[in-house]
């Protein structure tokens, strides 16, 4: 894996207006994504994790302008040169779409129920006027085989497939344009465990085969751990921690990350009662985030400074790869995942 940056996101913001009253006047904003900066490196899998409403999906869609970001810059490296995506016109955007594709969460709504597998998978080729109809069908057949489906499925419709098969169709569609970067938005969340493993393995194989770069958005920390190289943790529209997989699970540097690790179910009896860290309260509304550090309302370590001053994302001691947004990164001794999952097997 090279360390070359493929996509550089800086100060990205996406605010959704809240309209009220008869005149639909803007009464405020939901800050779905609030000043987010990160990079995606060539060939890596960047995991993005967070609870519902933390803005991870909005981030994924904003960086490829499926929804227009409110502010910020997204630079994408093409032929050694970084280009600003947010300034692209329609034609440039259409060309850019060939480079970055997306796999969606819901295997039921992400395929048009009225379109056969052939039409769905060849749609990208059709839109970009690639090849004749016959050539496109040939390519669809290859793609289906690549994702583990049979060519006999060509003329079937989505309702005739299981959730896992539909997700394969969605992956085939994303691969059709031979993209460099694929954004997987909760791509395995809706699948059964056994099928989820199939899809995760498939995604890994495709990555090594085609040299793909992934941005993998999920709420399940076990899945994120399995597939990612680096992980971005989001909370309430902001990035709270960026780390390699190893660093994140062994040595979390943000109390929220610690809480997430402590909440992962492990399916075994833990040692002692207090081993599991329980986070109080619920996520505040992104329309009205608390001042200072947005996590202070639930943070067990919150001090006065947290309620007043917003922490910035800074490198954690002597590691450029590890960043956290907390006033007490250096002071706190946070538990690792392994501290939480010490299990008692004596009873077995």
Partner 1 sequence: MEPTNVQLRSDHGFEDEATETVLSQRTVRFRRFRRNRLAVAAVIVLAVLYLVMVAFPEFFSNHFYQTHHADYVYAPPQIPRFVDEEGTFHLRPFVYPITSELDMETFNWVYTTDTSQRNHIYFFTRGYSYDLLGLFPTDIHFFGLEDPEQPLFLFGTDRLGRDVFSRILFGGRVSLTVGLVGVFLTIIIGSFMGTMSGYFSGPIDNAVQRLAEVLMSFPSIPLWAALGAALPSGWTPLQNFFAISVILSLRNWTGLARELRGKVLSFRESEYTLAAKCVGASHLHIIVRHMIPNSMSHIIVISTLSIPFMILAETSLSFLGLGIQPPSTSWGVLLQAAQQVNVVLEQPWLLLPGIFVVIAVLSFNFLGDGIRDALDPYSS
Partner 2 sequence: MTEPNRLVEVNDLEVVFDTVEGRTHAVNGVSFSMDAGETVGIVGESGCGKSVMSLAMLQLVPRPHGKIARGSIIYYQRGKAVEITKLNPTGKAMRALRGNEMAMIFQEPMTSLNPVYTIGEQIMEVLRLHQKMDNTRAKQRAIEMLEKVGVPDAAQRVEEYPHQFSGGMRQRAMIAMALSCTPNLLVADEPTTALDVTIEAQILELLAELQRDINMAVLFISHDLKVIGEIADRVIVMYAGWVVEEAMREDIFQNPQHPYTRSLLAAIPRIGRRERLVSIPGRVPSLSQLPPGCFFAPRCPAATDQCRREEPQVFTVNQGHTVKCWNYWDKEVQKTS
Interface residues with partner 2 (CB under 8 A)? Answer: 51-52, 162-165, 192-198, 200-201, 204, 219-223, 225-227, 249, 259-260, 262-269, 276, 278-280, 282-283, 337-338, 341, 345, 347-348
- The option from partner 1, partner 2, none interacting with 289 (CB < 5 to 8 A, set by class) reads none
| Residue 166 touches partner 1, criterion: CB under 8 A | no
- Min dist CB 120 to partner 2, Å, is 19
Site string for partner 1, 59-78 (x = CB under 8 A): --x--x-x------------
Structural element, H or E, at residue 8: strand 5-20
Q: Do 163 and 190 contact (CB within 8 A), yes or no? A: yes
Q: Could you say which of 19, 20, 25, 94 contacts partner 1 (CB under 8 A)?
A: 94
Distance, in Å, from the CA atom of 126 to the CA atom of 135, rounded to the nearest integer, reads: 11
Pick between residue 177 and residue 264 the one whose CB is nearest to partner 1: 177
Residue among 48, 189, 168, 171 nearest 106 (CA) = 189
- SS3 letters across 284-331: CCCCCCCCCCCCCCCCCCCCHHHHHCCCCCEEECCEEEEEECCCCCCC
Indicate if the alpha-carbon torsion angle 191, 42, 173, 66 is positive or negative. positive
Per the document, the length of the chain is: 348
Q: Could you say which of 10, 78, 133, 150 contacts partner 1 (CB under 8 A)?
A: 150
**What is the total count of residues that contact partner 1 (CB under 8 A)?**
52
- The option from partner 2, partner 1, none interacting with 25 (CB < 5 to 8 A, set by class) reads none
For residue 240, what are the contacts with CB-CB under 8 A and spacing of at least 6? 233, 234, 254, 256, 257, 295, 313, 324, 325, 326
Q: Report the site for partner 1 in 173-232 (rule: CB under 8 A).
A: 173, 176-178, 198, 201-202, 205-206, 209
Q: Do 177 and 9 contact (CB within 8 A), yes or no? A: no
- SS3 for 125? helix
- Min dist CB 177 to partner 1, Å, is 7
Q: Which residue carries 């992962």 as its tokens?
A: 264
Interface with partner 1 (CB under 8 A): 61, 64, 66, 93-94, 97-98, 101-102, 104-106, 109-115, 119, 123-124, 127-128, 130, 139, 142-143, 145-146, 148-150, 152-153, 157, 159-160, 162, 164-165, 170, 173, 176-178, 198, 201-202, 205-206, 209
């Amino acid at each position: 894996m090279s360390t070359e940056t493929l996509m550089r996101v800086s100060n990205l913001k996406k605010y959704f207006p809240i309209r009220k009253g008869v005149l639909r006047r803007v009464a405020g904003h939901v800050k779905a994504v609030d000043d987010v900066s990160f990079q995606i490196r060539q060939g890596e899998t960047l995991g993005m994790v967070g609870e519902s409403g933390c803005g991870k999906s909005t981030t994924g869609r904003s960086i490829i302008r499926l929804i227009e970001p409110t502010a910020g810059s997204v630079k994408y490296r093409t032929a050694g040169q970084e280009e600003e995506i947010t300034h692209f016109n329609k034609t440039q955007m259409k060309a850019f779409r060939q480079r970055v594709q997306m796999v969606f969460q819901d295997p039921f709504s992400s395929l048009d129920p009225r379109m056969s597998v052939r039409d769905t998978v060849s749609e990208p080729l059709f839109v970009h006027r690639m090849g004749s109809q016959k050539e496109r069908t040939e390519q669809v057949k290859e793609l289906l085989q690549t994702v583990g489906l049979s060519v006999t499925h060509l003329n079937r419709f989505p309702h005739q497939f299981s959730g896992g098969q539909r997700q394969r169709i969605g992956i085939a569609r994303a691969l059709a344009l031979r993209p460099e970067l694929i954004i997987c938005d909760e791509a395995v969340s809706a699948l059964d465990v056994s099928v989820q493993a199939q899809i995760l393995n498939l995604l890994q194989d495709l990555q090594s085969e085609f040299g793909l770069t992934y941005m993998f958005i999920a709420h399940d920390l076990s899945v994120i751990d399995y597939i990612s190289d680096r992980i971005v943790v989001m909370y309430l529209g902001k990035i709270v921690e960026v780390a390699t997989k190893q660093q994140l699970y062994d040595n979390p540097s943000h109390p929220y990350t610690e809480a997430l690790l402590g909440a992962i179910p492990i399916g075994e009896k833990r040692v002692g009662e207090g081993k599991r860290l329980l986070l109080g309260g619920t996520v505040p509304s992104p329309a009205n985030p608390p001042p200072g550090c947005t996590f202070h309302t639930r943070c067990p370590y919150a001090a006065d400074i947290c309620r007043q001053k917003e922490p910035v994302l800074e490198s954690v001691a002597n590691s450029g790869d590890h960043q956290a947004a907390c006033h007490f990164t250096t002071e706190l001794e946070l538990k690792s995942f392994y501290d939480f999952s010490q299990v008692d097997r004596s009873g077995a």
